Every structure is written in C-alpha cells, then in structure tokens.
Structure 1
Amino acid sequence: MSEINGSSRNASEEPIYNIGVVARMTGIPVATLRVWERRYGFPDAGRTAGGHRLYSENEVSRLRWVKSTIDEGMQTSQAIKALRKHERDGRILSLETSMSGSLAQPAQEGSSLDTYHKRLIGALINNELDKADLLLGEVLALYSMDQLVLDVIGPALADLGEEWSTGRITVATEHLASAFLRQRLIVWQTAGPSTHPIRPVVLACAPDEWHEISLLMLGVLLRRRRWPVAYLGQAVPLPDLAKFVRDIRPPVVITVAMTEKPARELHNLGKWLPEAVKTGRPVVAYGGRAFNTKPELKEKMIGTFLGETLLEGADAIERMLRETTALTV
C-alpha cells in the first residue's frame, strides 16, 4: 500500500477517489475491495492523513479490467496474477476489448491459441492439473471465452480421445483430464454476466447418451451470450425430459446425441412432447456427432438440426431465442 506524499506524479496516478466511490465506479462491493487488499495486496490504495483509502484513475482501470476478466469466468486470484503478468510484460490493458481478447497489443510469440492447446494437452497428459489451470487462466486473460472453448478445450478433448484410443495414455489419465475440463465447463456455465430475463433454455443428452462434454461447451457459449441455461446433462429419459419441460415452460429445448443408439431414441421425442409437434412450442432443436456422421438419422427427428459445429449450434439457438421471445437486446 502506498503513502500519499508531495512527490510529482501523473494525474492518472494521483489518489483521488475514496473506497465508496470506487465501489460504485467498478461495481465491486466495498467489502470485496478490502478482502482483495488483505488477501492479494490488490488494489494499491493510497492513504490520507486520517488513514482513509484513496484510489487513482489507474487503479480504477486496473480494477475494472480484473472485474471484467472475472465476469468472463476467470478466478479472482488468476485474474490478478494475469493483470500483474501483463503489466510486467509491458502490455496495455484494454477493458473495451476484454470480451474478444483482453490486450490492446498482439499476443507475444508462443501464446497463440494453437500453442495453448498443445501446452494444455501436455499438462493434462502429465497429470499436471495445477499447470493446466494456470494455462486456462492465461488464455482467458488473452482471448474470449468462445475462443478458449472452441479453439483450445475442444481440440484438447479430441486429442485426449486420440491419445487414449491409441494407448498412449491410460484410462485413468484420460478420466482425470476429462473430469478436470468438465468441472471447469460447469463453473463457467453457472457463472458470468447477468442473463436475459427469459425462461432458461433446456439442454439434455439423449437417453443412454453419456458423452456430455459437447453439450457442456454449448451451454458455456450460450451463457456467455447471456442466455439462461437449464442443464440436465447425461442420459435423460424422454418421459422425465417432457415432464421437466412442462414444469418450467422453456422457450427452446435442445437434445444432443453423439452415437447412433441414443439418436434413434430421440425419434420418440414427439410422442412425449406432442405439443411441440402440433404448435411448435416449445421450439425443439437437436445436434451431435451422430447426426453429422449419419444424416439419415435426421429424417425421423422433430425440430431443427443445429448444424455440424458448436458455433453453428450456438448461433442457431440464439436466433431461435430472439424469434421466440421477441427479445431485441
């Protein structure tokens, strides 16, 4: 913590705002600011002669950057570490670009998305979860959540499957790595910016479908776009799905099947949700690898095919939600 003195400094470095004003300017509660100061030595406040905290324009900017990074899914400690790393590297922080990449300058050599994907795989294969966690935090400080999910985690999961199928890693290592990424995706799906004021989108795996990572990734993409999500997860029986849909009345219901047998189970969805067939409400859509590899499976499905990629799916769902809810934001 710095003392206020008479030395010359830039206007942006002059402590002028008290803690209550800074809380209103940044949206960070006073109690949280005090906890961060004790726990992390951040933010850096000056002191008046009476011992009251004062903050500079620069410090307010640093706080806003950290908050925006936390809102995108990074843990507080990681966000503060990322801030300090960027400052040590001489990078310029830019709040305006935080959702599409948090730096005003290009990423340094060795920090491309492909490089991060390879580094993440290396950490996971070596069972170095702490290292993997730090890498995810570093990516979030440099890129958007969409880029992290689509260009780092997605390829990493594909590589893990390949490493396991060829015997280069054990089942235990593959399970540990998948569980680690699954836990992070669940956290990111439930945290983030406030959601649009509508009923949640229902996301469910087909009956007997246990491959849920793609559905989790889709949930994260939707949540980052401020759409509320009701994530039902693996192997949801159709009668239970139908009852849940009637109970919460969602605007859109999404089902996913990665393999053929669960995809064929979804052919019966119309029997359990006849109102969706008759009235088109709720809107029903589906996707997954099974429909990409065997397009004929789509012939007996009700609803709309989401496309072959996660990004296509997220875009399609967003269009459905805007049309269904007449939301214009």
Structure 2
Amino acid sequence: MYTIKEVAAMLDIPSVTLRAWESRYQAVIPQRTESGYRLYSQRDVDDLRWLKEQTEARGIGISHAVRLLKAGREAAPSEKPVAAAPGTPEQAYLQLRRQIYEALLEFQGERAAGLTDFGFSVYGYETMFHEVLAPVLVLVGDAWENGEATVAQEHYMTHFVANRFHALFHVFPVNASLPKAVCFCPAGERHEVGLLLFSLFLRRNGVEVIYLGADTPEEGVSALLREKDGIGAVCLSLTDRALLPYAEEVIARLAGLAEGALFIAGGSAFSDWQSPEGFPVRLHRSGENPARWQSWFSAVFAGRSRLPGRMT
C-alpha cells in the first residue's frame, strides 16, 4: 500500500490533482486508515498511471478517461484494462474483439459502446476498425449463416458496428476537386465489411462518399446516377460468386448512366475476375489488402477531377 505522497512522487501527479480526480470523478477511491489517511493499492497506482497517460499523451479529458477505465473494468472485472492486457497487440485485439462481440450478442449496447470507446482511445480509429470492429462484423455474419445468431442479433450487431463506421465519415474534410463516389453492394449481397472499410478509406482521402450499403436494388443506384451531378466513381463489393453474372449486368447498365465514371469492384467474388468480351467499362480493382489502397488511390483515383455534371 502507498500513501498519497508516495503515489504523487511515483507518478509525478500533484497530490491536489489526485484528490480532485477522486472527489470530482471517482477515478480511484483509495482505502482509508482509522485516522483518515489515504492508502493506494498497486491496482490503484496502475489505474492512475493509465489515466495520466490518456490525459497527457493522448489528450483525452479526465472525465472521459475515467469512463473508459470503468467501461474496461465492467467488461472484464477480473482483468486489467484492455490497453494493459499482457501479451502481444494481436492478443489484446482478440480479447477486445471477443468482449465486444459477446456484449452485442447479449444486446448489451452500453457495455459494447464503452469497450469500443476504450479501444478507440488506446489504438486509434484505423487499428480499431481493421483489427477489432471489422472482424466483429465477420463473426456476426458467420454466426448468422451458421445458425448461431438470430436475425435480430445479426441486425442489432451489424447496425451497432456500421454506426461507428458512419460516425467518422463527417470527421474528415471533403476535397471538392475530387469526384464523388457512390458505394453499394448489389441486391442479394449482405456482407458489407469490405465496402465499409473502403468507403471510410475514400472519405479519409477527401472523397465525398454516398454510402448505400448492403443489398442495394439496382433501381436505387440508377436513380441516383440520373439525379446527382458530380458522381465520378461507382464502387461495389461482392463476396457471393453466385451473384457475379448479375453484378456484371448491373455494372454494364450503370455504365450507360455514368459515362466516364470510374468503376471500382472489390470483394472475394472479383478476386480472379476476367472481363467478359465486349464488356462496356474498364473495371478497376483496388485489391483486398488495405495496406495497398493508398498507392492505388494515388495512381488511379487522385488524378481525376470533378466538374459539374461530368468527369474529366
């Protein structure tokens, strides 16, 4: 056990700050001696060290940092916070992924939100999306297909994760010189993990994204292309190979409505796709590896500019 003077010296946190964190935010509640002196356990010290790191190194407000700490404790009361989990980063991602998935499976939205906020503060948005939330969506889809999750559970979990993706769309500024992109999965395709990740990637690079999501009827995309100016990229994702002939027909028809637009296809169904003879549009593929998207974007997308109603 440590006195407040010892903790202040160890962590370089003034005693007055430790008292304020305790009284205002209930950050750490130390034990008291019969005389009223504070005594801090090693766990208290570890928690205070983590809070200091969040406020100083990551710029998070103390009230928010305390909420994240408590969310981690509630999610795994017998464990250390996720950020302090032993082992490799991959093991920490796996642990957080499992905790969020199990919380969503039980419709525990507040717990899942707390864990997700915790992860964003520790790992940042890109790592959190690629290493935790995107795999959660994959788990959800697999569980639904295997009969391990109900339709209600699948909808609830997918909606939760998708909302987190969309929340970041408005964080990044739009580059008005770049073409707008419409992103969708053709009718019948329910897996939108790759589409979400790629759409967020485009948005981060300044592209205004019109996200239509999974299982989108062709009529809706066609109407959008007729009515909306400045759309210079049509992005679709497909994992179900049985839908590939239909997707080719959709692309061919949409190409007539978006002359000069860049057509981009992703998803495992297009991994070894060969253009049929007489196909009316060149289909660009960014690749399945997100690490290569930036070089692809610079080479294929960034050089295109937007003019009212048409592409140059």
* TM score, norm. by length of structure 1: 0.59
Match of 1:249 among 226, 230, 235: 230
CA contact (8 A) 2:225 2:231 kept: yes
The alignment of Structure 1 onto Structure 2 pairs a total of residues equal to 235
Match of 1:179 among 150, 154, 159: 159
Q: Which amino acid aligns with 1:251?
A: G
CA contact (8 A) 2:68 2:115 kept: no
- Give RMSD over aligned pairs: 3.7
**Pairing 1:192–2:171 present:** yes
Alignment of structure 1 residues 21-40 onto 2, 5 Å? none
Q: Provide the rounded CA distance (Å) in 2 between the counterparts of 1:178 and 1:186.
A: 12
Alignment of structure 1 residues 1-329 onto 2, 5 Å? 65-66=59-60, 81-84=63-66, 107-110=83-86, 112-189=92-169, 191-198=170-177, 199-238=179-218, 240-246=220-226, 247-268=228-249, 269-274=251-256, 281-292=260-271, 295-296=272-273, 299=276, 302-313=282-293, 316-317=296-297, 319-325=299-305
Deviations 1:48-87 (A, max 9, x none): xxxxxxxxxxxxx97x935xxxxxxxxxxxx764444789
Deviations 1:221-262 (A, max 9, x none): 322333321112234444553453353222322112221343
When Rg is computed on C-alpha atoms for both structures, the one with the higher figure is 2
CA contact (8 A) 1:251 1:321 kept: no
Q: Which amino acid aligns with 1:173?
A: Q
Structure 1 runs not aligned, ≥5 long: 1-12, 14-39, 42-60, 67-78, 89-106
C-alpha distance 168-273 of structure 1, shift in aligned 2 (>3 A)? closer
Deviation (angstroms), 1:140: 1.0
Structure 2 runs not aligned, ≥5 long: 1-13, 15-23, 26-54, 71-82, 307-312
C-alpha distance 171-119 of structure 1, shift in aligned 2 (>3 A)? same
Q: Which amino acid aligns with 2:255?
A: L
Q: Which amino acid aligns with 1:143?
A: Y
Q: Provide the rounded CA distance (Å) in 2 between the counterparts of 1:197 and 1:272.
A: 24
CA contact (8 A) 1:185 1:220 kept: yes
Q: Provide the rounded CA distance (Å) in 2 between the counterparts of 1:125 and 1:249.
A: 41
Deviates more, 1:296-305 or 1:203-212: 296-305
Deviations 1:125-154 (A, max 9, x none): 232211110111111111221211111012
* TM score, norm. by length of structure 2: 0.62
Deviations 1:158-186 (A, max 9, x none): 22233344444433323321222122222
Q: Sequence identity, in percent?
A: 19
